[in-house]
Amino acid sequence: MSYDYDLLVIGAGSGGIATARRAAEYGAKVAVIEYDRLGGTCVNRGCIPKKLMVYASHFPGLMAEAVGYGWGKVESKLDWPQMVEKVHGETVRLNGIYQRMLDNSKVEVITGVGSFVDSHTVAVGDKKYTGERILIAVGGEPIKPAVLGIEHALTSDEIFNLPTQPKKLVVLGGGYIGSEFASIFNGLGSEVTQLIRSDLILRGFDQELREEVQAGMINHGINIRHSIELLAIERVAEGVLVKIKTGDSIETLEANALALSALGRKPRIDKLGLENTQVTVQNGAIAVDEYNCTSEKHIYAVGDCLDRIELTPVAINEGRAFADTVFGNKPRLMSYTNIPTAIFTHPEAATVGLTEAEAKEQYGEDAIKVYRSKFRPMYYVLPDKQEKTLMKLVVEIATDKVLGAHMVGDHAAEIIQGVAIAVKMGATKANFDATVGIHPSSAEEFVTMR
């Protein structure tokens, strides 16, 4: 049977674009279907705009700290519309780069919402396209709970486009997205209250890392309220009223905006027409094998529409592994062990490998040794600020192998990226000890812990 394309990709996010271009390099005829701007969540509503706003949120602290080094005091005010415009401008620039990359790879872009008609055919509007193989890379979307007035809450998709800065912001949820937005808006000057359902933010991360980040955020002025249940949201002239329950107590918080930024995300598959295929859905996500193949042998899926790790580099690597295997005749699997990640809160955190609790559960409590260092970086001595850095190594005693590395503090992501290479290679604590540190730096603590 003849098909319109060798590969038809639904979704032009990071995973979809990376796959399309890699498959085209091998000579495949490829088209990508996308209803929104190119680049997906990461470029348009996630990693990129978020990190730019993280940078913006650091300047008040930098200007205050400069006084400790002899610089005159700076009085400055954020121009919110200008910042939003500049952030938006960068995402538009990246959209253009993605378009040029696809053009140069001779990948066709089909604009619209793609939905399966059958296992080889995807409809976009009133047109139909066929693919010998089809890749689903539709990403995810924020979860909105069934709460009265939920339509008045912002998700991480909308929060980047606020026309004015909220003086008071309530952030619901203690995941990394909500914690990052709480830190960003606090740094930009908003009064932030973060509501979490448990005692600590960042569930799933190392316990000490969680404690240190939460303590640091509180120290920076974020009001973190724990053991909270959201009851209702009401729109009023000045913003929203947020009705919450703590134990047996019910109260109402006033805010200019409520951000439902950390209640998680779910695969965006509801309108994909999967019922017209044999693709299996499990726990709300597309089920795939180790080669990212669904229960239809010619339909594959990568990225946040799976029940795996929701990270841009993971989606890209999954897609390229699929293209190498299917179109390049270079079979390879995506490895999900020792994937580093960062949380761009203030203080920043980053991690790779097993947490202390995971290591003890897998190897036994007596089989693990933990090395840690907690200190005030030299940078904060002259400004006399009580900022702390935590570094931690989790080591298996029998093999001396470093199973996990965790950090809270300035430049944690940049430092852990390098440490992750060593952990991925199976480095031992002796290897770390034998490495000469760069002095004076915070990073040298990773090779001097005893």
Active site residues: 439
Tokens linked to 129: 């396209």
In angstroms, rounded to a whole number, what is the distance separating the alpha carbons of residues 62 and 246?
37
The sign of the dihedral angle between the CA atoms of 187, 193, 194, 198 is positive
In sequence order, the β-bridge partners of residue 118 are 121
Residues 6+ apart with CB under 8 A from 292: 300, 301, 302, 306, 318, 321, 322, 334
CB 421 within 8 A of CB 446: no
| Alpha carbon distances (Å) from 436 to 78, 433, 447 | 42, 8, 7
CA dihedral for 399, 400, 401, 404, sign (positive or negative): positive
